[in-house]
A and B are shown apart, each in its own frame.
Chain A
Amino acid sequence: MLHTLDVKGEVCPYSTVKTKKKMKDLAIGDQLKVIFDYPLTAEEIPRWAEKAGHKVIEVKKTGDAEWEILLEKAVA
């Protein structure tokens, strides 16, 4: 199942903390698309996700100061 989390306007660590929380509620195999506008988040979320054991499927710049990350929950 694909979930979406919009954290536009949020800076670190809020964007990462909110992503962490959301991932907790997902089932293994579910995907989460995170939409954000803060540059550092494009580095912080993938780094955290890999360390936590999740899959980072895609990090994509979608526009002026806008990015999307697609994660897949791999561990409980």
Chain B
Amino acid sequence: MLESLQESFAAMVILGLVTGVAFGFTLQRGRFCMNTAFRDILLTKDFTTFQAYILALLISIVGVNLLVDFGLIESEIKPFNWLANAIGGYLFGIGIVFAGGCGSGTWYRVGEGLVGSMVVVLGFAISAMAASIGKLDSIRKYLRQEDFTIQINDQAPTLYGLIGANKWIVIAVIAAALGIWLIRAQRPSHQKGWTWPVTGAVIGLLIVFGWWSSSLVGKAEGITLASTTVSLLSYPTVGVPKPNWGMFMLIGIPLGAFVSARLLGEAKLRGPSEPSRYLKQFGGGLLMGFAAMQSGGCNINQGLTNLSMLSLGSLEVILFIILGNWTMVWFLFLRD
């Protein structure tokens, strides 16, 4: 039965949409945005959204590695393109401050009706397409060449490979350390959406579900928002790639977010009153799209979907996204 699913277009559409709608619904309920998560640590010393991210990461690490060990998906480690990851991650972190949202934050706010976020998506799609299948592709090829790529024993390095320990021992240590930090974390006040434990748990489970559901109808790729954004622009304009699970997953995200926002009475078309803000957000989107193509993925793809495989390259990207974010937050909001 599973073999026939691979050939079924309808199964691909349905599994993609279901994953995306559930993910979008959750993003909106939990206000899950890594720009918020990283920024608030610095700006308001608030760790609420960051705690949701760490919990989601923990759950996806355990779940995805179980999928791998049970043979349901293959382990796929992102390459350690140290130069491209650093530059792409840092620029992406800067971009999300101007855009007012990360990859996931931007897509769920489209569903809430924020016109500024729709502008971000446009900028993102255009520059990411230029940087991946257009004229700017040479930059990515240069930055991601072998000279700037580190391998350990001819393989992309992982956290456990680096230490030379058993995968599950490394996972246990990470889980213990981060788990203790999370248990001691405070319950936030004034919560209107889901609390961080609920948001983090559901996001983590959906990252695992994304890996599994994409594997049923094509190549296992998990939830990813950058390359799929390119596809939604490149398919109608230049006819590539063939429709895939990821494209329908992405369409599902704003739909799910809209349903969630509508039920909460939080959906309405709205945007900043200063016209310059749209330009700023468009610029942020351009920067994000370009950067994500250098770093091999956005904050969801690298920060959750692939970091859950414990790949060192993904860890580097997310650390540089945080650095870029903090640099710009300091520059724009904290300098004086």
Q: Report A's interface with B, CB cutoff 8 A.
A: 8-14, 16-17, 37-40, 42-44, 46-48, 50-51, 56, 59, 61, 63-65
Q: Do B31 and A61 touch across chains, with their CB atoms under 8 A apart? A: no
Q: Do B192 and A65 touch across chains, with their CB atoms under 8 A apart? A: no
CA distance A47 to B31 in the complex (A): 15
- For residues 179 through 204 of chain B, which have their beta carbon under 8 Å from a beta carbon of chain A? 188-193
Given A11-B100, A11-B116, A50 contacting B272 (CB threshold 8 A): no
Sampled A-B contacts (18; CB under 8 Å): A9-B272, A11-B116, A12-B36, A13-B43, A13-B329, A17-B333, A37-B270, A39-B31, A39-B264, A40-B31, A42-B190, A43-B190, A44-B46, A47-B48, A47-B188, A50-B189, A65-B261, A65-B270
Shortest Cβ distance from residue B198 to the other chain A in the assembled complex, whole angstroms? 14
Interface residues on B, range: 20 to 34
Smallest CB gap from B281: residue in A:
A11
Inter-chain residue pair count (beta carbon < 8 A) = 81
Residue-wise interface mask of B (103-121) relative to A, using a CB-CB cutoff of 8 A (1 in contact, 0 not): 0000001001110100000
Residue-wise interface mask of B (272-293) relative to A, using a CB-CB cutoff of 8 A (1 in contact, 0 not): 1100000000000000000000
Task: Find B190's partner among A12, A14, A46 (CB 8 Å cutoff).
Answer: A46
Smallest CB gap from B115: residue in A:
A9
Given A11-B116, A39-B31, A40-B36, A46 contacting B44 (CB threshold 8 A): no
CA distance A15 to B264 in the complex (A): 21
Smallest CB gap from A42: residue in B:
B192
Task: Find A43's partner among B39, B101, B191, B271 (CB 8 Å cutoff).
Answer: B191
B266 contacts chain A at the CB level, 8 A cutoff: yes
Residues of A contacting B112 with CB < 8 Å? 39, 65
Task: Find A65's partner among B45, B100, B188, B268 (CB 8 Å cutoff).
Answer: B268
Shortest Cβ distance from residue A46 to the other chain B in the assembled complex, whole angstroms? 4
CA distance A13 to B330 in the complex (A): 12
Q: Do B265 and A65 touch across chains, with their CB atoms under 8 A apart? A: yes
Task: Find B266's partner among A9, A39, A48 (CB 8 Å cutoff).
Answer: A39
Residues of A contacting B264 with CB < 8 Å? 39
CA distance A8 to B100 in the complex (A): 15
